[in-house]
Amino acid sequence: MIRRPILLLVNPAAGRKPGSPRLADDPARLEPDALVRALRDRGLEVELHTLREADDPGALARRAVEEGRDVVVGGGDGTVATVAAALVGEDAALGVIPLGTFNNQATSYGLPLALDPALDVIGRGVVGLVDAGWTYHEDRAEGRFFFEAGGVGLDALGFLAVEVAERRGWWRAAGLVWRGLRRRKTPIEVTLDGEVRRTRTPAVTVCNCPYLGLGFALAPESDPTDGIFSVVLFSGMTRVEVVRHFLSVARHRPRREPRVTLRQAKSVTVRGLRQALPAHADGEANGLTPVTFEVRPGALRVFR
> Is pLDDT larger for residue 183 or for residue 145?
145
Q: How confident is the model at residue 214 (pLDDT cuts 50, 70, 90)?
A: confident
Largest CA distance in the chain: 60
Q: What mean pLDDT do residues 252-260 have?
A: 93
**Residues 206/293, Cβ–Cβ less than 8 Å:** yes
Give the separation between CA 241 and CA 245, rounded to whole angstroms: 6
Q: How confident is the model at residue 276 (pLDDT cuts 50, 70, 90)?
A: very high
Q: Please list, in sequence order, all residues whose beta carbon lies within 8 angstroms of the beta carbon of residue 277, skipping any fewer than 6 positions away.
A: 152, 153, 156, 186, 188, 270, 288, 289
pLDDT at 164 over 50: no
**Is the whole model's pTM more than 0.75, yes or no?**
yes
Q: What mean pLDDT do residues 291-297 have?
A: 98
pLDDT at position 172 is: 56
Q: Side chain identity at 81, as an amino acid letter?
A: A
Instruction: Identify the bridge partners of residue 217 per DSSP, sorted by sequence position.
Output: none
User: In Å, what is the CA distance from 114 to each residue of 99, 103, 108, 111?
Assistant: 10, 12, 15, 9
Give the separation between CA 109 and CA 211, rounded to whole angstroms: 10
Residue 2 DSSP SS3: coil
- Percent of the chain at pLDDT exceeding 90: 75
User: How is residue 86 annotated by DSSP?
Assistant: H
**Residues 108/211, Cβ–Cβ less than 8 Å:** yes
| Strand residue runs (E) in the chain | 6-10, 46-50, 70-75, 94-98, 127-136, 143-146, 149-153, 188-192, 195-199, 203-207, 229-234, 260-265, 267-272, 278-281, 284-288, 291-303
Other beta carbons within 10 angstroms of residue 5's beta carbon come to: 13
